[in-house]
Structure 1
Amino acid sequence: MDADTTTHRYEQLADLIVRMIDNGTLAPGVRLPSVRAIGAQYGISISTVLQGYRLLEDRGILVARPQSGFYVAATQGGTLALPSTSRLRSKASTVSISGAVAALLEHASNSALVPLGCAVPDAALLRSHRLDLALARAARQHGAHYNVYGAPRGELRLRREIARRAMRIGHALSPDDVVITSGCTEAVTLALSSVAKPGDTIAVESPTYFGLLHTLEMLDLKALELPTDPTRGVHVDALARLLDTEPVAACMLSSSFSNPLGSLMPEAQKRELLALLARHAVPLIEDDVYGDIHFMRERPRPFIALDGGANTIYCSSFSKSLAPGYRIGWIAPGAFAQQVMDRKLAFSLCSPVLPQVALADYLASGAYDAHMRRLRRLLEENLLRLTRTIEASFPAGTRVSRPAGGFALWVELPKGFDSRALFDEALEHGICFAPGDVFSASRRFRNCLRLSAGSTWSERIDKGVRRLGELARTQRTEDRGTLAVK
């Protein structure tokens, strides 16, 4: 800072930051050092630094995130609007989606296609070699000992590590409160079958994860689709009106960064929802697989960690954050412990022992926290790149979500678009994505799609997204031409 100039120090700081952005030192989406750190580095007061940051925020150069800090704006200028809030469905829908889900997963697993369809981080991003070494070491040293049926609840050391991590977010768990499952899918299946019987209705977000819809179909449960805001989640008042008129066996929601919207319900709204469900004696099943993949200073707290969470069943896994191939999830069933254990014994008896032992060793070493810091940074950068590419290549009027965690974007094309037709055409060009209609029991969201940012960003992915935008623009032009002829 130049003390002799007539320019105010906060303006000098702002100019310095702008130069660093212009020359590429500070890339879009990067978090700036804290106000305290900058003040110490340049010998200026915290209020001066804050004044400089606020000046750049007013210019649209920086973006402030509550309880997180200041970030370089993803784009300099206007950004695409958020997707529309879904409409209320007053009646439950019978789910029939299994064929579409099976076909999508088949394409999503095809490595020859540009990987925008599967919401699982690729191996290059996860870099789970230390976990693999722990698995190899356990197999080499004690393989025969672990080649047995394990305890139905799962390995005690792993359950203890999970309970310790839960304490960090205010969720008081003991190891005996935890049951290890085959991923979050088994956890959700155990939870749903414990609180509902065939023909019952489950209230869900809209759009919601197609894997959940497939599970509802297999359990012969109906889905009641709730209006969902792209940033704040389910509308509690709409749920309140429905509970006064419709019988609901349970409510199934994401804890944080829902799939596919990426919405995060504010904590006050979570408490309001818990109080509402308690008044109607409706249990809540929460899916927290994305909670560790947050871009904020603090990890969001799940429903079960809040007052009123006693009637909540908590489900999560390490499939999105560390080891999709290990298929290790867990459930904290609370008041439904006996029902869950009865079904665990019937469905799978127990989970494989060796992967649990390896994961327990890995978590105890402290390696997971360092891994997550790196992974969160990479996935946030991927989302920003994906957003910028969409803004540059998709048709006018496109809307896109802005999640503060996870690694998927929900893209809403203008009315009249057909993402199912776009999906078929994209496959012919070697591109896979998830069409919007698989995220709804009533097969809504035909003009929407979900794009995954879970792969290492590359020229191939960049070109794939741009090509997808071109295909969408072409569809738009052809549709307008058809209307003109008619």
Structure 2
Amino acid sequence: MDTHIPFRYEQLAELIVGMIDNGALAPGTRLPSVRAASVQHRISISTALQAYRMLEDRGILVARPQSGYYVAVTHRGGLALPSTSRPRPRASTVSISGAVAALLEHASNSKLVPLGCAVPNAMLLQSKRLDLALARAARQHGAHYNVYCAPRGELLLRREIAKRAMRVGHVLSPDDVLITSGCTEALTLALTAVAKPGDTIAIESPTYFGLLHTLEVLGLKALELPTDPARGVDVSAFASLLDTESVAACVLSSNFSNPLGSTMAEADKKTLLALLAQHAVPLIEDDVYGDIHFGRERPKPFIALEGGSNTIYCSSFSKSLAPGYRVGWIVAGAYAQRVMERKLAFSLSSPVLPQVALAEFLASGAYDAHLRRVRRIFEENLARMRRAIEASFPAGTKVSQPAGGFVLWLELPKGFDSRSLFDDALEQGICFAPGDVFSASRRFRNCLRLSVGSAWNDRIEDGIQRLGQLAQKLLAR
């Protein structure tokens, strides 16, 4: 017989869970501070904190910096996670440019319900303060900034980026940073620095279609890796592939991958870094979603971990703050000279004014306040979208549950054709991203990606409901 008497922190945790289950504490509700809870329940502050952190570890509460603990808005309903991908164990040529161009054209059409493009809506980002900084710089020093800047980019911005890297334990000098035109240019510079046409690049599966497009244009092959929707790349399967396949580089998302939303545990990241070091394979990491985390701490990128010295780090402000500014950066380490040569050849330097404005915005502390707001919005949007999917889509639909970012990956029953759904949805004024554009071998025909990068409203909810109804009809044919 179990004679365990709950500890005081366990009693408080059970009380909170009970209040959540009976609706007394709704998703998104802020809990009393740790100090207030200790007074209210006559327990020590450390005991109250232990209860809160235990519930945070279980995904029931989320901690928001300088704000407190909140009931998680992620819906814990009956939706299963998508299946782990099992792509064919050999490299594929990439032929996807036509499909990507067509999708981007539809995704930019403001008349369509915006579920297709993984770019935050400008109204949601509320970048007025950043825009004012740019206007002020142009008004006061326009002639001074109407020049080519140094190839590495504006020193003030590189200094602010290096300061932020310290938060994840990555020591950077401003001279280690090179400013690019978004993360796409950063990835292109990295790939051309480590690979030549005909080489094979290992990638997640599914992966961002923009990366696939870049691989195609550069004449590179793709080796798609088995990938779990929560834990990321299967390192043991990758190890087996490296015994038989010659790989020039590996490209992975640092955190909250697009489209799965997966994040590798830190221990798995270290294991993968050791594997790549063993085979002398450089890692190119894409960390555009890292700042959009819902947990208490930002997950570390590969480059900040033990064994990350052969890593090229790429990121940008396009997903978190300013997609229209097209400001990204690359930290190339041992490949810095090669990357610099290619930067000079491809674009010489990046525009000055957006860099100056971003540097001022970061230095003011406004970026952190901005991130706290958009993280909350994206987390709430994802929870709303999961509920709408569960209410409208066919039985058996599986949906990802990311801990950051703003996209969801849906897997429908085998035989479902998301291309047919795409055509039907466009006629109904709805845009989404069909699953086959996320694979070099055009897999995932029964999958699709939805974006929640816009402010939630009736139009979005109605669009998801109608999309689910269209999917029901397709399955019934």
The TM-score range, normalised by the shorter chain, is over 0.9
The aligned residue for residue 476 of structure 1 is: 475
In the TM superposition, residue 71 of structure 1 has moved relative to its aligned partner by 3.2
The aligned residue for residue 263 of structure 2 is: 264
Alignment of 1:405-444 (within 5 A): 405-444=404-443
Letter in 2 for 1:294: H
SS state of the match for residue 396, structure 1? coil
SS state of the match for residue 231, structure 1? coil
Alignment of 1:118-137 (within 5 A): 118-137=117-136
C-alpha distance in 1 between matches for 2:451 and 2:143 = 40
Q: Is the alpha carbon distance of 1:33 and 1:269 closer, same or farther for their aligned partners in structure 2, counting shifts above 3 Å?
A: farther
Alignment of 1:59-98 (within 5 A): 63=60, 71-72=71-72, 74-75=74-75, 78-98=77-97
After the TM superposition, which segments of 4 or more aligned residues of structure 1 sit over 3 Å from their partners? 8-23, 29-37, 40-57, 64-76
Q: Is the alpha carbon distance of 1:54 and 1:218 closer, same or farther for their aligned partners in structure 2, counting shifts above 3 Å?
A: closer
The aligned residue for residue 314 of structure 2 is: 315
Question: CA contact under 8 A between 1:14 and 1:55: conserved in structure 2?
Answer: no
SS state of the match for residue 60, structure 2? strand
The aligned residue for residue 332 of structure 1 is: 331
C-alpha distance in 2 between matches for 1:202 and 1:55 = 40
SS state of the match for residue 449, structure 2? strand
Question: CA contact under 8 A between 1:138 and 1:357: conserved in structure 2?
Answer: yes
Q: Is the alpha carbon distance of 1:37 and 1:424 closer, same or farther for their aligned partners in structure 2, counting shifts above 3 Å?
A: farther
Q: Is the alpha carbon distance of 1:413 and 1:356 closer, same or farther for their aligned partners in structure 2, counting shifts above 3 Å?
A: same
In the TM superposition, residue 72 of structure 1 has moved relative to its aligned partner by 4.3
Question: CA contact under 8 A between 1:67 and 1:296: conserved in structure 2?
Answer: yes
Question: CA contact under 8 A between 1:14 and 1:53: conserved in structure 2?
Answer: no
TM-score by length of 1: 0.90
Question: CA contact under 8 A between 2:83 and 2:229: conserved in structure 1?
Answer: yes
Question: CA contact under 8 A between 1:31 and 1:72: conserved in structure 2?
Answer: no
C-alpha distance in 1 between matches for 2:49 and 2:352 = 52
Q: Is the alpha carbon distance of 1:286 and 1:72 closer, same or farther for their aligned partners in structure 2, counting shifts above 3 Å?
A: closer
C-alpha distance in 2 between matches for 1:273 and 1:9 = 37
Q: Is the alpha carbon distance of 1:396 and 1:47 closer, same or farther for their aligned partners in structure 2, counting shifts above 3 Å?
A: farther
Question: CA contact under 8 A between 1:67 and 1:298: conserved in structure 2?
Answer: no
In the TM superposition, residue 124 of structure 1 has moved relative to its aligned partner by 1.6
Question: CA contact under 8 A between 1:158 and 1:357: conserved in structure 2?
Answer: yes
Query: After superposition, what is the alpha-carbon deviation per residue over 1:253-308, rounded to whole angstroms, capped at 9, x for unaligned?
Result: 00000000000000000000000000110000000000000001000000000111
Letter in 2 for 1:207: P
In the TM superposition, residue 30 of structure 1 has moved relative to its aligned partner by 4.8
C-alpha distance in 2 between matches for 1:48 and 1:280 = 47
The aligned residue for residue 248 of structure 1 is: 247
TM-score by length of 2: 0.92
Letter in 1 for 2:175: D
C-alpha distance in 1 between matches for 2:294 and 2:109 = 30
In the TM superposition, residue 82 of structure 1 has moved relative to its aligned partner by 0.4
Alignment of 1:168-187 (within 5 A): 168-187=167-186
C-alpha distance in 1 between matches for 2:13 and 2:285 = 45
The aligned residue for residue 139 of structure 1 is: 138
Query: After superposition, what is the alpha-carbon deviation per residue over 1:118-167, rounded to whole angstroms, capped at 9, x for unaligned?
Result: 10110121111110000000000000010011111000000000000001
Q: Is the alpha carbon distance of 1:374 and 1:241 closer, same or farther for their aligned partners in structure 2, counting shifts above 3 Å?
A: same
In the TM superposition, residue 74 of structure 1 has moved relative to its aligned partner by 3.8
Query: After superposition, what is the alpha-carbon deviation per residue over 1:369-393, rounded to whole angstroms, capped at 9, x for unaligned?
Result: 0000111011100000001111111
* Count, aligned residues: 466
Alignment of 1:38-437 (within 5 A): 38-45=37-44, 63=60, 71-72=71-72, 74-75=74-75, 78-437=77-436
C-alpha distance in 2 between matches for 1:116 and 1:189 = 27
SS state of the match for residue 204, structure 1? strand
Q: Is the alpha carbon distance of 1:245 and 1:322 closer, same or farther for their aligned partners in structure 2, counting shifts above 3 Å?
A: same
C-alpha distance in 1 between matches for 2:9 and 2:202 = 54
SS state of the match for residue 296, structure 1? coil
C-alpha distance in 2 between matches for 1:119 and 1:103 = 15
Letter in 2 for 1:89: R
Question: CA contact under 8 A between 2:93 and 2:440: conserved in structure 1?
Answer: yes
Identical aligned residues as a percent: 74
> RMSD of the TM alignment (CA)?
2.5
In the TM superposition, residue 477 of structure 1 has moved relative to its aligned partner by 1.1
Letter in 1 for 2:352: V
Letter in 2 for 1:461: I
C-alpha distance in 2 between matches for 1:54 and 1:95 = 45
C-alpha distance in 2 between matches for 1:30 and 1:421 = 40
C-alpha distance in 2 between matches for 1:433 and 1:234 = 25
Q: Is the alpha carbon distance of 1:18 and 1:187 closer, same or farther for their aligned partners in structure 2, counting shifts above 3 Å?
A: same
In the TM superposition, residue 46 of structure 1 has moved relative to its aligned partner by 5.5
C-alpha distance in 2 between matches for 1:430 and 1:115 = 9
Question: CA contact under 8 A between 1:295 and 1:404: conserved in structure 2?
Answer: yes
Letter in 1 for 2:198: G
In the TM superposition, residue 29 of structure 1 has moved relative to its aligned partner by 5.0
Unaligned runs of 5+ in 2: 1-7
Alignment of 1:29-44 (within 5 A): 29-30=28-29, 32-33=31-32, 35=34, 37-44=36-43
C-alpha distance in 1 between matches for 2:334 and 2:13 = 55
Greater shift in the superposed pair: 274-283 or 67-76: 67-76
SS state of the match for residue 131, structure 1? helix
Letter in 1 for 2:60: V
Q: Is the alpha carbon distance of 1:270 and 1:34 closer, same or farther for their aligned partners in structure 2, counting shifts above 3 Å?
A: farther
Letter in 1 for 2:156: R
Question: CA contact under 8 A between 1:29 and 1:384: conserved in structure 2?
Answer: no
Q: Is the alpha carbon distance of 1:55 and 1:325 closer, same or farther for their aligned partners in structure 2, counting shifts above 3 Å?
A: closer
C-alpha distance in 1 between matches for 2:311 and 2:283 = 5
Unaligned runs of 5+ in 1: 1-7, 479-486
The aligned residue for residue 483 of structure 1 is: none
